[in-house]
Chains A and B, each alone.
Chain A
Amino acid sequence: MAATRKSSAGRWRSVALGSDPVRRAIYILGMLPAVSTFYFAVMDQLGADPQKTLERTLGLWALRFLIACLAITPLRRLGGPNLVRYRRSIGLLAFYYAALHLTVYTVLDQGLDLAAIWADILKRPYITVGMLAFLVLVPLAVTSNAAMIKRLGGTAWQRLHRLIYLAAGAAAVHFIMLVKSWPAEPLIYAALVAGLLLFRLLFKLQRRTRPNRRARPEAARA
Chain B
Amino acid sequence: MLIRRPSDIQPSEITPRDQYLQRRQFMAGASALGLCTAIATMCGRTAQAAPLQAGKSPLSTTEEPLTPLKDITSYNNYYEFGTEKGDPVRNAHTLTIKPWKIKIDGLVAKPTDYDLDDLIKPTELEERVYRMRCVEGWSMVIPWVGVPLARLLQRLEPQASAKYVAFETLVRPAEMPGQRGLFQPLPWPYVEGLRLDEAMHPLTTLAVGLYGETLPNQNGAPVRLVVPWKYGFKGIKSIVRISLTDKQPPTTWNIANSGEYGFYSNVNPAVDHPRWSQATERRIGEGGLFAKRRPTLLFNGYAEQVASLYNGMDLKANY
Chain A nearest Cβ from B42, distance in angstroms: 14
Task: Check if B291 sits within 8 Å of A51, measured CB to CB.
Answer: yes
B277 touches A120 (CB 8 A): yes
**Chain B interface helix/strand/loop/mixed:** loop
B275 within 8 A of A: yes
B257: chain A residues within 8 A (beta carbon): 180-181
Counting CB contacts under 8 A, is A177 at the interface?
Answer: yes
A126 and B136 CA atoms in complex are apart in Å by: 14
Contacting pair A111 B293 (CB below 8 A)? yes
A54–B289 CB distance below 8 A: yes
Render B285-300 as a binary contact track against A, CB cut-off 8 A, 1 for contact. 1001111110000000
Q: Are A126 and B256 in contact (CB under 8 A)?
A: no
Contact between chains at A183 and B183 (CB < 8 Å)? yes
**Least CB distance, A8 to chain B, in whole angstroms:** 37
Do residues B74 and A47 form an inter-chain contact, with CB atoms below 8 A? yes
- With a CB–CB cut-off of 8 A, which chain A residues contact B79? 181
B116 at the interface (CB under 8 A from A): no
Partner of A124, one of B85, B276, B291, B293: B276
Contacting residues of chain B (220-259) with chain A, CB-CB under 8 angstroms: 253, 256-257
A48 lies within 8 A of B75 (CB): yes
In the docked arrangement, what's the CA distance between A119 and B275, Å?
Answer: 12
- CB nearest neighbor in A for B185: A181
Known contacts A41-B289, A181-B83, A183-B83: A48-B276 contact under CB 8 Å: no
Is A48 within 8 A of B284, CB to CB? yes
**Contact between B275 and A49 (Cβ–Cβ < 8 Å)?**
no
Least CB separation from B279: chain A residue: A116
Residues of A within 8 A of B131 (CB): none
Interface flag for A74 (CB, 8 Å)? no
A181 near B186 (CB under 8 angstroms)? yes
Residues of B within 8 A of A41 (CB): 289
Looking at the complex, which one of A54, A179, A181, A184 makes contact with B256 (CB distance below 8 Å)? A181
**How many residue pairs at the A-B interface have CB separations less than 8 Å?**
71
**CA–CA, A41 to B290, complex, Å?**
10
**Cβ of B85: which chain A residues have Cβ within 8 Å of it?**
47-49
List A contacts of B285 (CB < 8 A): 48
- B86's nearest neighbour on chain A, judged by CB, is A47
Do A178 and B289 form a contact, CB below 8 Å, given A47-B86, A48-B74, A49-B284? no
CA distance A150 to B204 in the complex (A): 69
Instruction: State how many residues of chain B have any CB contact under 8 Å with chain A.
Output: 32
Output the nearest chain B residue to A126 by Cβ-Cβ distance. Answer: B275
Instruction: Flag if B289 contacts A48 (CB, 8 Å).
Output: no
Which residues of the other chain, A, contact B182 by a CB distance below 8 angstroms? 184
Specify which chain B residues have a CB less than 8 angstroms from the CB of A178 in the assembled complex: 275-276
CA distance A46 to B186 in the complex (A): 27
Q: Is the CB of A124 within 8 A of B275?
A: yes
Q: Are A50 and B86 in contact (CB under 8 A)?
A: no
Name A49's contact: one of B83, B138, B183, B253 (CB within 8 Å).
B138
Judge if B115 is at the interface, Cβ distance under 8 Å.
Answer: no
Given A125-B275, A183-B183, A184-B183, A47 and B288 contact (CB-CB distance below 8 Å): no
A44 touches which one: B86, B135, B275, B289 (CB < 8 A)? Answer: B289
Bound state CA distance, A28 and B211, in angstroms? Answer: 45
CB distance from A201 to the nearest CB of B (A): 27
Contact yes or no, A182 B277, CB < 8 A: no
In the bound assembly, the distance between CA atoms of A126 and B135 in angstroms comes to 16
The yes or no answer to B157 lying at the interface (CB within 8 A) is no
Q: CA–CA, A42 to B292, complex, Å?
A: 16
Digit string of A29-55 for contact with B (CB within 8 Å is 1, else 0)?
000000000000110101111111010
CB pair B276–A108 under 8 Å, yes or no, is no
Cα distance A47–B70 in the bound complex, in angstroms = 9
B113: chain A residues within 8 A (beta carbon): none
Bound CA span A183–B85, Å:
12
| Shortest Cβ-Cβ A-B pairs, 10 listed | A48-B75, A48-B71, A183-B83, A184-B183, A181-B185, A50-B289, A48-B284, A41-B289, A44-B288, A50-B288
29 A-B contact pairs sorted by A residue (CB < 8 Å): A41-B289, A44-B289, A47-B71, A47-B74, A47-B85, A47-B86, A48-B71, A49-B138, A49-B282, A50-B288, A50-B289, A51-B291, A52-B138, A108-B290, A111-B293, A116-B277, A123-B272, A124-B276, A124-B277, A126-B276, A178-B276, A179-B83, A181-B79, A181-B185, A182-B183, A182-B185, A183-B83, A183-B183, A187-B183
